[in-house]
Amino acid sequence: MRPFVVLLQKEFIKLGRDSFLPKLIIILPILIMLFAPLLVTMDVRNVKVAVVDLDHSTTSHRIMSHISAAEDLILYRATAEFELAMRDLEDGNVDIIVQIPKRFERDMTLSTPQKISIMANAVNATKGSMGTQYIAQTIARALTEVSNEKSMERMPELITVQNRFNPTLNYSHFMIPALMIIIFILVCGFLPGLSIVEEKEMGTIEQINVSPVNRFHFTLSKLIPYWLIGIFALFISMLIVKFVYKLSPTGSVGTIYFGAFLFILTISGLSLTIANFSDTLQQLMFVLFFFIMIFIMMSGLLTPIDSMPKWAQIITYALPPRYFIDILRSVYLKGTTIAEQWENFVALGAFSVIFNILAAITYKKQA
Amino acid sequence: MSDIVISVRNLTKRFGNFTAVNDISFDVYRGEIFGFLGANGAGKTTAMRMLSGLSYPTSGSGTVAGFDIMREGEMIKRHIGYMSQRFSLYNNLTVAENITLFAGIYGLSKQTTEERRDQLLAQLKFSSERDTLVGALPLGWKQKLAFAIAGVHSPEVVFLDEPTGGVDPVTRRQFWEMIYEAAEGGTTIFVTTHYMDEAEYCSRVSIMVDGEVRALNTPTRLKQQFNAGSMDEVFRSLARDAIRGELLI
């Protein structure tokens, strides 16, 4: 045990002497959790609308007042000239044109009134489609109001929508748990590999290789400090999420820590494996970046896996972050227990075993 | 001088088409200071790496401290010390921490480590520098420390790969005094060097040219054999024929 104890001591002493790393370990989770949720929002805000009102009725005015009152819509122009609105759309002053046809109010009493048309600039597809939805809902609400006032019988509400698990449909609540993964990838994915390659570049690894050190001891001494740091970073992030975003896990905190531990094991094992094959910092960084790009794009962090093409969906099963992101989201938002999502834990557990064994056996003391 | 510590037969190492070490055979006896000379690129470091369990030979056989270099590399590592061409102690650990680390790696108990550490620090007259970061030491001091650490576990053989490169003459002299002291204690020293005055200090010297051992004897005999006044002339007359590596004038 003595060789392992001194190796581990060495890692901690080196970390403590580093002028930059200990600060980074504290600052990184804080920065990511404070700012990233604000940046990755998919909520569409400030949709600018031009209304071409050819009707000039109380109904059309009602529609316009609803639009200007809506939180995410801005009534940029109300005009009777379509050309003017179209020029605004072309110049990028507005995102959406709503055209209310002539005699709309009068025809409403008939069975088939002329249709209101909505035209959206869909260059930004998300803003286009979300904006159109907002407008359609807003207009529908205005029209229901108008017809309820006119007729004696109340129009029944045909559809009710209930958003389970994230009642306010807050996109950041969906993103925050998943964003924690970026911290683990940075801290536990990069640092162990860097520490190995640093020893290669400094030449110190040769002094280790020529000694009878057990390679499992050496590998473990490189991993343990970063496991602890990863858990510490999770602790900081969860505090920020709780106090800044008022979001606490619905499920058990223990489940999150357990999942995080498995993920940290996996990613640090992967990092060491890559480092064992890299002789220089450049090689290590290039290969790590390749994996991390794939992790971030394909594991459901930013876009749902279900909307990916079939072949891509199959690949995601080979990506450890996929399972951890699922765990984070379902525990935070739905309160899922380990038993209910045992597949995720088994998959992560398997990955952590594979990558750490790989890290130990690819570390060659002899060439 | 009959106790053989290193024994090598027909040792060869190829990297693709390039034969770095070509069919070398020799024996090294206990307590010897064995000088391993050769021009840059002659294959010294490659040979030394095979003897110290860092690299597998392509063919040939050998034993170091009684263990087979093909199959028992990890056992060899327990019984040897190694000082690399590149300084390879941890710069951001202190002198004492480096000693503790390597003593621990070789399995010395905590108590033995502490005794050994104080003994080494006293020997090196480093007691005042025990808490200095190794990175802040002058090169000559670093090399002396590296040598002391290579012998921290009292190995049978210590391999030194150009230990005095870039070291001033005074420190070089002190360094060789340390080597003599270790050899008198029964440790075998296997040393490569480019300084021919150092070659004169060795018990026996081998000279490698183009991956082969071209000469092996005591410095006195080598000088007789090549009818030379100094080891420097012996080396030049052999290295002149070198095909690869740097040309020597």
| B222/B215 Cα distance (integer angstroms) | 8
Q: Which residues of B touch A221 (CB under 8 A)?
A: none
Tell whether B45 is within 8 A of chain A (Cβ). Answer: no
Query: Which domains does chain A carry?
Result: 2-40+170-362 (no CATH), 47-150 (3.40.1710.10)
Q: Residue A72 has what pLDDT?
A: 81
Which residue, among A1, A206, A207, A366, would best test binding to B if mutated, counting the most B CBs under 10 Å from its CB?
A207
pLDDT band at A161 (very low <50, low <70, confident <90, very high): low
Question: What crossing angle do the helices spanning A281-298 and A320-329 adopt, rounded to 10°?
Answer: 50
Look at residue B247 and tell me if it is in a domain: no
**Smallest Cα distance from B209 to chain A, Å:** 24
Burial of B118 (0-12, 13-18, 19+ CB in 10 A): middle
Look at residue B56 and tell me if it is in a domain: yes
8 Å CB contact between A50 and A97: yes
pLDDT at residue A299 is higher than 60: yes
DSSP assignment of A319-367: -HHHHHHHHHHIIIII---TGGGHHHHHHHHHHHHHHHHHHHHH--S--
| A124/A324 Cα distance (integer angstroms) | 30
Percent share of chain A, pLDDT over 70: 92
Q: Do B82 and A9 touch (CB under 8 A)?
A: no
Compare CB distances from A3 to B54, B56, B104 and report the shortest one's residue: B104
What CATH number does residue B230 fall under? 3.40.50.300
Average pLDDT of chain A? 87
pLDDT tens, position by position, A223-246? 999 999 999 999 999 999 999 888
Look at residue B244 and tell me if it is in a domain: no
Tell whether A208 is within 8 A of chain B (Cβ). Answer: yes
8 Å CB contact between A262 and A355: no
Q: Residue A35 has what pLDDT?
A: 87
Mean of the pLDDT values across residues A65-86?
87
pLDDT tens, position by position, A357-366? 999 899 888 7
Q: Which residues of A touch B89 (CB under 8 A)?
A: 204, 207
pLDDT tens, position by position, A48-63? 899 999 888 888 888 8
Q: Residue A271 has what pLDDT?
A: 94
Percent share of chain A, pLDDT over 90: 42
Q: How many domains does chain B have?
A: 1
Instruction: Assign 3-class secondary structure to A125-172.
Output: HHHHHHHHHHHHHHHHHHHHHHHHHHCCCCCCCCCCCCCCCCCCCCHH
Q: Do B86 and A206 touch (CB under 8 A)?
A: yes
pLDDT band at A286 (very low <50, low <70, confident <90, very high): very high
- Three-state DSSP at A231 gives helix
**Among A126-130, A255-259, B159-163, the least confident range:** A126-130
CA angle A221-A223-A225, nearest 5°? Answer: 80
Tell whether A10 is within 8 A of chain B (Cβ). Answer: yes
Token pair listed for A23: 């600060």
Stated pTM of the model: 0.81
Enclosing H/E stretch for A33 = helix A21-39
Q: Residue B194 has what pLDDT?
A: 87
Across the 249 residues of chain B, what is the mean pLDDT of every consecutive 10-residue run? 84 91 93 90 90 92 93 92 89 94 93 93 90 92 93 93 89 92 93 89 92 91 90 87 57
Nearest Cα residue in chain A from B113: A2
Tell whether B87 is within 8 A of chain A (Cβ). Answer: yes
Give the Cβ contact number of residue A269 at 10 Å. Answer: 25
- Three-state DSSP at B7 gives strand
Is the pLDDT higher at B157 or at A18? Answer: B157
Look at residue B83 and tell me if it is in a domain: yes
Tell whether B244 is within 8 A of chain A (Cβ). Answer: no
Q: Residue A167 has what pLDDT?
A: 62
How many Cα neighbours within 13 Å face the side chain of A4?
9
Look at residue B191 and tell me if it is in a domain: yes
pLDDT at residue A348 is higher than 70: yes
Q: Do B89 and A207 touch (CB under 8 A)?
A: yes
pLDDT band at A168 (very low <50, low <70, confident <90, very high): low
- Measure Cα distances from A103 to A54, A59, A84, A152 in Å: 8, 10, 21, 23
Taking only Cα atoms into account, the Rg of chain A, rounded to an integer number of angstroms, comes to: 28
Burial of B143 (0-12, 13-18, 19+ CB in 10 A): buried
Q: Residue B1 has what pLDDT?
A: 43
8 Å CB contact between A252 and A161: no
Q: Do A210 and B93 touch (CB under 8 A)?
A: no
Specify which residues A226 forms β-bridges with.
none
Provide φ and ψ at B52, rounded to 5°.
Answer: -100, 15
Domain containing B110 equals 4-239
Burial of B16 (0-12, 13-18, 19+ CB in 10 A): exposed
Q: Which residues of B touch A2 (CB under 8 A)?
A: 104, 107-110
